[in-house]
Amino acid sequence: MEDVLDKKELDNLLKLLLSVKEEESIESYIYIKNILDSIEFPLPVTIYRKGTKFVRSRVHKENEDFFENSDQLSYRKDIQNIKKFGRANEPGQSVFYCSDNAIVSFAETNSVVREDEEKDFEYITSGVWICTEDILLVNLLTNENTKGQHAEFDQCVKSFEELIDSQNDENAFMVRELLQFLSTEFSAPIKKNSNHYKITSAFTNYALSIEEVEGVLYPSTMYSTEGFNLALKPTVVDKKMKFYAAQRIKMQRIGDKKYLEVEKIESEISNSDDNIIKWKK
């Protein structure tokens, strides 16, 4: 294995990245991105097989009733309006955020579940998508907090770590430390200051620059025991995903920070390519 960094260099680098991400300037992001781009290190990967279902949820704005077509539940195309960093995107960059579990998708999106807002009610629509081909993702479930929660992914991470450890040199430890750091950054609580996403955004773009990589798999901030989050290239959605169905849920406040599902409306299963969502009203 080629030299990555020694322990002192890695410790200094991680401290520097954490410090720089607090800065407001765009130069600080360019700095983080260039630093990550300068390091070559192996990455664990996971393949989601053809036929796997994914869920993407959206909160309705005040004037939105029902989403009428699947494009409204896909990746954003108004990139000129994406003005802040997301967990896996730069300003002006769109990725397809989704989850492999409906509960995770709902919780990650729903502001009343996160209890960061007090509303009388909120509508959330979740769209289900099916991959029509295998999808290869960089796996960032190397966080110690996620281990023991999903046997299949634990085995994937274990196999990767055994491969790294078999090299029997200091680089193995450095790679594990670096991946642990990145996974922890991805699983940090949702931030209102988008600058805190500079490291995760820069790493996502580092990973997506690898031709074979189609997305990044990372821990949920809300329900790490239920499932995981994904950020996919838009081209993957266009070429390897098919819209399946949707449901709209209404959450009503029934007390101090207590909400109850009071309505659920489902769509018909999509059997065409016209992108129209047919609701069972």
60-70 mean pLDDT: 92
pLDDT at position 197 over 90: yes
Q: Could you tell me the end-to-end alpha-carbon distance of the chain, in angstroms, rounded to an integer?
A: 59
Within 13 Å and on the Cβ side, how many CA atoms surround 56? 22
pLDDT band at 70 (very low <50, low <70, confident <90, very high): very high
7-16 mean pLDDT: 87
Model confidence pLDDT, tens digit, residues 29-59: 999 999 998 888 888 889 999 999 999 999 9
The pLDDT value recorded for residue 4 is: 60
pLDDT at position 213 over 70: yes
pLDDT at position 1 over 60: no
Would you say the C-alpha torsion 257, 258, 263, 265 has a positive or negative sign?
positive
> Which residues does 190 contact at the CB level (< 8 Å), separation at least 6?
108, 114, 116, 221
**Number of Cβ atoms within 10 Å of the Cβ of 68:** 12
pLDDT at position 160 over 80: no
95 φ/ψ sector (left φ>0, alpha ψ -120 to 50, else beta): beta
pLDDT band at 161 (very low <50, low <70, confident <90, very high): low
Q: pLDDT over 70 for what percent of the chain? A: 83
Model confidence pLDDT, tens digit, residues 241-261: 999 999 999 988 787 767 788
